[in-house]
Structure 1
């Protein structure tokens, strides 16, 4: 049996309407054997069978096409109806009724959507039956047209699923490669940055010290890119970024430290902090710091360099809100919905560093905490990114009913 025929049998097997069609045919005609057959130039193959006659043919069973009447249907594309083969003018001496010992028979052609011949829907019985001139033929021809539509739909679905599976496999291999590459880069980058930092402390010549400082800056930048790539791979290949949520009494200090670090990198920018009382917050200190770092770096990169960047962190109505606000060109509405997707970034005419993963990772950190990211942007009010974390989320989850 060819691969194509095997695939056609599987396609018919996935169409839920086929058993019902055969059942209706048998009940309406009184014939005790009905089948959907794939008919090629040489073989008749059963794709679906309803047999109360004990005819003996199962799904996948094959007949030599020349022994069947479907050989003629394949050539003429016409329905064949026989009430009593032994008395029929055309088929009383035909070899097919004698071989398969039937008197009554009906078979209609089935075509694919492109007009090519697929096979037949047929039924037979050793006893005669009044089939000609009844509603049986138009009913079965309607079933054939319905089956044609179902075959096309099922084949299209299978092609889509196969393409999706291939794409998923390709994406998984690609992301695994990224993760492995990022992991293997960490050790040499650590050696480079550690060595460069030592040189900046020990070199006395200004020019040499400047070169070492440049190496250190580039190494730290590359380390950050690797960290972003690994976080991206964790988010895509696993169940998201993993966080260790615990009491964080020094969260305010951690956020101020992040601000100080970026202020040193951007000494000419004005960064204003409004950090309130953050006692009683449970979170992953390092991840929340990373979230702020990503948001602040984004604001410093894309905001108006002549305007300050405002950072606010406070608890409002049992919700921890961390916000970063900047002025500048507003983010277009179509872009807002894509900001937290990987490798996305605002459109700019100037070259941009980074991979476009900062906001994606910030959003993954927010989701891992049970919180969410929000963004609003307008010409008048500027752009505000906010991380909102309900402090009662643990209590709320504890009240949910347990799974049975």
Structure 2
């Protein structure tokens, strides 16, 4: 065939995308034909291949305007259909001489090449889409890093100043109203610091390889857990927190991280339990494992909530005074995973219990 082309055929244009011209047909890449003068326009409508061996002997095309206008006797055109079913155009060829085209070898070859072209076009579109998504993700990553920097510096510094000022105020000779206001400021700054810590850990974990820990072979966990209880007791002075500790063996762990985990669990237990009920803390260590249980009375956690409890930004039923981002339990579970341990929950109508289990490697 003297002239072959990949044509983009739309409802108003016929445009050459690629061309092989050995008969000086004179149509370069980007060249156009008037749509109504082409057989491809008809193929666009019925999306079936058209094959002509000899125009003058073909009953359907001997009087057709297109062969007369462009001076060809043999013709083949196969539709190019994209993966999504859209019609792109045609793979077509013409020659001023007759040719034997109506045979499985020729039509099969043209069909195969049309399919390959469609596959290539789909691949190019997917690459362009992927590149766009990558650029968007890179832009989001930059914003995320800036966000972390703001949290880590621009928010924490003034927050530390607020917390320190509240502590200094509480030591002055204030009246009852002043003491109450100073306590509100102190408690609020404590909770805000916890939110910032959780957001930093969440962002760092998602950007890197999870939450990093630094183990200490003989971590004094009992002391650290009591410190967390004391801090929580200042925020909930009227609450009863029962401690049942039995540390018989040093714990090889990151004490700061486990204290953070415990603080999240204890804060939840105090938030989601009746004010007149105790929160029971049980912890023990042996030569083989460390276990921590935080139990409280309150509403049973619904089954649907249990399934996503340790996922980020997932929260249970929230009362008006219970605020947060839903990251505490996710970060607690990540800390457990970093210690190669597990954090599990059981909930009944009588009580809810979060259990941390860290086995020691032999």
* TM-score, with structure 1 as normaliser: 0.69
Contact 2:195–2:324, Cα closer than 8 Å, also in 1: yes
Partner of 2:358: 389
Match of 2:254 among 259, 284, 298: 284
Secondary structure at the counterpart of residue 33 of structure 2: helix
| Equivalent position of 1:228 in the other structure | 198
Post-superposition CA distance 1:316-355 (Å, at most 9, x none) = 7833222212222111111112212222211135342222
Q: 1:76 Cα shift?
A: 5.3
Aligned CA distance change for structure 1 residues 341 and 163 (closer, same or farther; 3 Å): farther
1:256 to 201, 215, 226: 226
The verdict on how the C-alpha distance between 1:125 and 1:270 changes in structure 2, with shifts beyond 3 A counting, is farther
The 3 A distance-change label for structure 1 pair 219 and 79 is closer
Q: Go from structure 1 to structure 2 and tell me whether the alpha carbon gap of 1:152 and 1:318 turns closer, same or farther (over 3 Å shift).
A: farther
Within the candidate set 24, 29, 38, 1:71 is matched to 38
In 2, the alpha carbon distance for the partners of 1:219 and 1:326 equals 25
Is 1:353 aligned to residue 320 of structure 2? Answer: no
Give the Å deviation of 1:119: 0.4
Per mean C-alpha deviation after superposition, the further-off stretch among 291-300 and 351-360 is 351-360
User: Which ranges in structure 1 are unaligned for 5 or more consecutive residues?
Assistant: 1-30, 98-102, 396-404
Give the number of aligned pairs: 347
C-alpha change, 1:35 and 1:300, in structure 2 (3 Å) is farther
Instruction: Give the unaligned 5+ runs of structure 2.
Output: none
Instruction: Kindly indicate whether residue 153 of structure 2 is the aligned counterpart of residue 179 of structure 1.
Output: no
Task: Give the Cα–Cα distance (whole angstroms) in 1 for the partners of residues 67 and 166 of structure 2.
Answer: 98
Tell me if 1:367 matches 2:320. no
Verify the 8 A CA contact 2:5 2:16 in the aligned structure 1.
no
Query: Structure 1 residues 267, 42: CA separation in 2 closer, same or farther (over 3 Å shift)?
Result: same
Q: Equivalent residue for 1:331?
A: 301
Structure 1 vs Structure 2 CA RMSD: 4.3
Cα displacement string for residues 134-167 of structure 1 (whole angstroms, at most 9, x for unaligned residues): 4468858976997899699869967985786577
Distance 1:96 1:32, change over 3 A: closer
**2:70 corresponds to:** 95
Out of 152-161 and 349-358, give the one that drifted further.
Answer: 152-161
| Cα deviation, residue 266, structure 1 | 2.2
Tell me the secondary structure at the aligned position of residue 330 of structure 1: coil
Shift of 1:308: 2.4
Query: Are the aligned partners of 1:323 and 1:385 in contact in 2 as well (CA < 8 Å)?
Result: yes
Alignment pair present for 1:211 and 2:164: no
Establish whether residue 43 from structure 1 lines up as the match of residue 15 from structure 2.
yes
Contact 1:288 1:365 (C-alpha < 8 Å) held by counterparts: yes
Q: 1:198 aligns with which of 168, 183, 192?
A: 168
Q: 2:311 aligns with which of 318, 341, 357?
A: 341
Cα contact 1:110–1:147 (8 A) shared by 2: no
What TM-score comes out, normalization by structure 2 length? 0.76
Distance in 2 of aligned mates of 1:159 and 1:310: 57
Name the counterpart of 1:22: none
The offset of 1:188, in angstroms, is: 1.2
Q: 1:93 to 1:148 in 2, by over 3 A?
A: closer
Distance 1:36 1:208, change over 3 A: same
> Relative to 1, partners in 2 of residues 1:226 and 1:68: Cα closer, same or farther, differing over 3 Å?
closer
Bigger mean CA offset, 87-96 vs 169-178: 87-96
Contact 2:298 2:352 in 1 (8 A): yes
Distance in 2 between residues matched to 1:214 and 1:92, nearest whole Å = 89
Superposed, 1:122-201 pairs within 5 Å as 122=92, 129-132=99-102, 134-135=103-104, 165=134, 168=137, 172=141, 175-183=144-152, 184-201=154-171
1:62 alignment counterpart: 29
CA contact (8 A) 1:74 1:109 kept: no
Distance 2:4 2:292 in 1: 69
SS class of match (1:354): coil
Point out the more displaced range, 150-159 or 197-206.
150-159
What secondary structure does 1:291 align onto?
A: helix
**Deviation digits for residues 229-280 of structure 1, max 9, x if unmatched?**
2222222333322221221331122112222322333233222222222534
Aligned partner of residue 202 in structure 1, secondary structure: coil
